[in-house]
Structure 1
Amino acid sequence: MTFLDDFATLSSFGATANGGVHREAATADDGRARWFLADWFDRNGLTTTVDAVGNMYGSIEFVPGAPYVLVGSHLDSQPTAGKYDGAYGVLAAAHAAYQVIECVERGSVTPQFNLAVVNWFNEEGSRFSPSLMGSGVFIGKFDADDILKVTDRGGITVRDALSDIGFHGEDQQLDAVSYTEIHIEQGPILEQEGTTIGIVTANWAARKYSITVHGEQSHTGATHMALRHDALVGASKIVLAARELTTQFPDGLLLASVGQFDVEPNSPIVVPSKVTMAIDVRSSDPDVLEQAHDMLLAAIAQETEVHVSIDSSALRPSTSYQSEGVELAEEAAKDLGLSYRRMLTMAGHDSVNLKDIVPTVMLFVPSVDGISHSEKELTRDSDLLDGVTMLTETVARMVRGDIGVAKATELTSAGSRQR
């Protein structure tokens, strides 16, 4: 059993002709990847459980009644995306867990906590919105029943999609004492610097908008220009306004894009009546993000030919990862002789949710040319393996109780009060 062999097998589920994967949440290919993981758990001493929203755990109990160190990521992908994003973190977690179990059995690690690998449901948010869905339910940010009612563009609910692939579970969530995740960087910094491990200290702030532009349907060949209320023209102005925001600040300080865009009725001889779009705006500086928010609203307000409604506007604030986790990871990297640096994460990850409730460690390995959400996404084998080594050492220290003791005490106290 080697990590690279297992990763090659995992990457075959939803594989594209150009070396990527197309494996959106709760599709048939996601189901096949999940059954592969469940079989891996079974063959390597981990017990598979699945909660109501499809979060999938492979657990082992070292200390009866103790809470769990969780380690994982997600198996779902964007459409025609790379094979490393998310899936690397899940499989690296599985291999790290296997090695930690061996350490416990040999007596070189004395566990204070139990251990579970987790595959979070719908981190990407491409088929079902919002993103970070499974981990959001886990931390209490979303209600499970509400999430199960969410539909994709075809009207299929989360509940039905999970049932179709056999992963609408009934098992309870595990009590988490801490969490760690490893991921490809999805940026160029580590590769450019020749650094092996990134240790994340905080996430960029982000705002996500769902917007509808309402116009009036009419005939493209018979309606005078002065009488048109073209939803697509209005929407196009907003797309350009979002892009223009990024030029109002120093280079690299603000990112903005429209990633999803639907036109109705989408006929070649009909003036569009409605456009829906998703806008994503991010910054490392929360004040800059708020300025951009105000500027975007002002640009929308200037549109008079059509009516624009902001259906939702969600803020993901910038918050820090706990210093005890950052320091634990730094000590692990030093002891392993791996080069490392502290850094921010520009992208969102399930760890962004988990750090709101438990001490959390977020690790990066280099991405070639910083490319991600693309079939060109690549991390070199040597970096993948160094990441597994780093994750294993991190998980071992967390299992033996180097962080999370205060959280464990809190969980014990809560349990006593409930009894």
Structure 2
Amino acid sequence: MSAIGATESGGVHREAADPADAATKQWLREWLQQGGFEVRVDRIGNLFGLLTWTPGAPYVLLGSHLDSQPAGGRFDGAYGVLAAAHTAARLRDRFRGADAPPPLNIAVVNWFNEEGSRFQPSMMGSAVFTGKLDPDTALDTCDAGGTSVRAALTDIGFAGTDECPELASYAEIHVEQGSFLEQEGRTIGLVESNWAARKYRVSVHGEQSHTGSTPMTQRRDALYGAAKIVTAVRELADEFAEGVLHTSVGQLTVLPNSPVVVAREAQLHLDLRSADLDVLRTADTRLHEVFAQVRERAGVAVSLGTAHAWDIEPYQPAGVRLAEAAVEELGLPHRRMLTLAGHDSTNMKDVVPTVMLFVPSAGGVAHNEFEHTDDADMLAGVDVLTDVADRLCHGEGQP
């Protein structure tokens, strides 16, 4: 599958609803159909593969995402979808012909636009599924070139109309995107909770002018103001104990972006993340102080809008205990941990009992072509997910 959208350095480039993402979706659809799954596509482009052995019963859903960051890694998200598909196929074979099939069915999902690189916000497909994002608002969202989600899904043939399956629970496995498991020699991470995040769209407005002839004292340089914000945001993390607050500016758009023009506008995508809500609140207050300073020193206007946010919310303890029992039965080294990154499971846990699992990432490298997870760890993860899914299909893990 990693041959689709492959980059020269061994990664993949598959942004939401681009040609490579479309080819990967089609690849998965055909794989599922060949395996006897009923395939459904909902209106936001989430692709489901259903196996039904107890008609009328809800489904245990397993999955992740196949889209990537630009020049991203081939493990992020994609491993979770493949692990889910193989887990469901294993259980299909395990339960085939059983006198008493499990009371709950199983399904696989590829969530649309988890990464949020082409269309914002991230985790769009699961946000629509869980009712956190209005579907029409999502479909009307446009990329930098003005193409809407609605048009993009229509162009690639994944503007679906199918009903979503009724769920009993959800489970997701993902590469850690950190180095705790590798450093400690553990194979499986059991996610207990997530970090909170505040993501902002920041616009800095100045005045377009000539870079040569405009006196320095008369310039209202939006890029200068943006540069002050970028630097301040990085230094904001240093005001707290090490590792307590993560800050970044991941995207910067400059207008008119000409080499001989003082920028009239700069747009930034900024985020703050912490496992401590008091730290996050303090950082947010400091951020607004920074904006006030930039307005005064750079002579620009700064406006702020929320792009995406989530709070610290634990995964259901019963699911963590269920996963822990499965890992211990398999004799694999493990630990309980938090997730610093957002995943579709962070949406799903708010509506159904959810289990989140990690396998190690070599060097903690993520959103990078050189992302890597060893085969042995990936296969062990599928074994754990299979055991977890089996237990969930039999009704275990409910709060």
Q: Aligned pair 1:170/2:166, yes or no?
A: no
1:17-416, aligned counterparts within 5 Å? Answer: 17-105=8-96, 107=98, 110-303=101-294, 304=296, 305-312=299-306, 314-404=308-398
The AA in structure 1 aligned to 2:309 is: L
C-alpha distance in 1, partners of 2:306/2:396? 41
* Superposition deviation, residue 176 in structure 1: 1.1
- Per-residue CA deviation, residues 209-268 of structure 1 (Å, 9 max, x unaligned), is 000000000011110000000000000000011001100111111110100000001111
C-alpha distance in 1, partners of 2:292/2:53? 59
Note if contact 2:361-2:373 (Cα within 8 Å) is conserved in structure 1. yes
C-alpha distance in 1, partners of 2:260/2:61? 54
- Per-residue CA deviation, residues 4-27 of structure 1 (Å, 9 max, x unaligned), is xxxxxx111100000000000001
Note if contact 1:103-1:109 (Cα within 8 Å) is conserved in structure 2. no
The AA in structure 2 aligned to 1:141 is: K
Equivalent position SS for 1:302 = helix
- Per-residue CA deviation, residues 69-117 of structure 1 (Å, 9 max, x unaligned), is 1000000000000000000000100000000111111539831111110
* Superposition deviation, residue 281 in structure 1: 0.8
- Per-residue CA deviation, residues 372-395 of structure 1 (Å, 9 max, x unaligned), is 000010000111111111111111
* Superposition deviation, residue 312 in structure 1: 2.4
Question: Could you list the runs of 5+ residues in structure 1 that have no partner in the other structure?
Answer: 1-9, 407-419
* Runs of 4+ with >4 A deviation: none
Note if contact 2:221-2:262 (Cα within 8 Å) is conserved in structure 1. yes
C-alpha distance in 2, partners of 1:90/1:244? 37
* Superposition deviation, residue 146 in structure 1: 1.2
* Superposition deviation, residue 298 in structure 1: 0.8
Note if contact 1:209-1:310 (Cα within 8 Å) is conserved in structure 2. yes
C-alpha distance in 1, partners of 2:355/2:396? 12
Aligned-pair Cα RMSD in Å: 1.1
- Per-residue CA deviation, residues 278-297 of structure 1 (Å, 9 max, x unaligned), is 00110111111111011001
* Superposition deviation, residue 403 in structure 1: 2.6
C-alpha distance in 1, partners of 2:311/2:13? 30
% identical equivalent positions: 54
Structure 1 residues 333 and 108: alpha-carbon distance in aligned structure 2, compared to 1, 3 A threshold: farther
**Corresponding residue pairs, total:** 396
Quote the residue 1:411 is aligned against. none
Question: What is the TM-score when the length of structure 2 is the normalising length?
Answer: 0.98
Question: Could you list the runs of 5+ residues in structure 2 that have no partner in the other structure?
Answer: none
* Superposition deviation, residue 302 in structure 1: 1.4
C-alpha distance in 2, partners of 1:234/1:83? 36
- Per-residue CA deviation, residues 49-86 of structure 1 (Å, 9 max, x unaligned), is 00000000000111111111100000000000000000
| More divergent stretch after superposition (176-185 vs 295-304) | 295-304
* Superposition deviation, residue 311 in structure 1: 2.6
C-alpha distance in 2, partners of 1:64/1:347? 36
Question: What is the TM-score when the length of structure 1 is the normalising length?
Answer: 0.93
Note if contact 2:54-2:101 (Cα within 8 Å) is conserved in structure 1. no
Note if contact 1:203-1:348 (Cα within 8 Å) is conserved in structure 2. yes
C-alpha distance in 2, partners of 1:89/1:76? 12
